[in-house]
A and B are shown apart, each in its own frame.
Chain A
């Protein structure tokens, strides 16, 4: 092997751990890291069951900030070594604020998702990592959201089969 070949091989060997470390940081919702995804509904491919929502979603946010990370710290790690995360799903509908109704709806505080490197699954919905810092929020059963002050009992549902494409965004975008 030439000197140039040896140099290249050595460089590749040195770069491998760095590349692995980068791949690990590319994990969907990495530990102790705040994150925000913002997006909207997408129509699934033809042939899949889909019913047009009564009131369309105009914006959807996935927030993982201090409240969610603090909850994750309290939760015990599953025996099988899996990873659990907490997410706030915040939806704005086309009729936001109309008639004194809520501006935003969100899921409950204490729901956890079990994660692999590319998918986090809550059982009734999942977040799937895509290329270019995007994720798909896919309803696999549907998700109930609540809104407004306590006692208002306002609720909406993201129905089974509906899919939302969201882009990784600065934390400001989840406000």
Chain B
């Protein structure tokens, strides 16, 4: 026969158990808590292309601009790499997004490219490095616009410290690193080239 304490405890325990079940059932799964950044713009399992081409008028208005066209592409090969990486445990700096950066400079007919491995940055952003030439990096964040600009990304080279001071940076566009006879080929932050807004585009725009 149950005693007084047991009798009194039973309804409380049942309530607590029911509450715990509700909490567990409604809590987001661990994978959702660690959702990949920029899932709308760079959806897992699907290739993507974001591109920006500066027309003659824009180039004329910004004589200091070196970049004529810039694109970030995730091909089927990148998606396959991401799928493989997603099965690994993620630590700080573990790559979760694979992509290719393509850049064409003003007056240079050759398009330059770099393979990127991107890891989780602050908030909903990615930090991307060229694994061939470590040290350089770019950051990708969402453009944050709704409607027409939805799915657009912002590619930043360097950034601003809390004091407001801008610190420039670079990323290699040549796998030889310092092996070239001339100085390394890099995309670097300039006065007019600290960030680029890239719209979602058909894959042809990334070739």
Contacts and interface: CB of A to CB of B under 8 A. Distances in A.
Nearest to A152: B131
Interface string B158-185: 1101110101111010011111000110
A167 B162 CA distance: 29
Interface size classification for chain B? 35 or more
Contact of A148 (B85, B131, B165): B131
Contacts of B159: 66, 70
B165 A104 contact: no
A66 B167 contact: yes
Contacts of A102: 131-132
A104 B93 contact: no
B158 A150 contact: no
B13 interface: no
Contacts of B204: none
Interface string B140-165: 00000000000000000011011101
A150 B131 contact: yes
B127 A67 contact: yes
Given A148-B131, A175-B135, 10 more contacts: A32-B165, A69-B161, A90-B135, A102-B131, A103-B175, A110-B93, A149-B132, A150-B94, A172-B183, A174-B135
B117 interface: yes
Q: What 6 pairs across the A-B complex have the smallest Cβ distances?
A: A66-B167, A149-B131, A106-B134, A66-B169, A150-B95, A103-B177
B41 interface: no
A109 interface: yes
Contacts of A172: 183
B92 A70 contact: no
Contacts of B201: none
A97 interface: yes
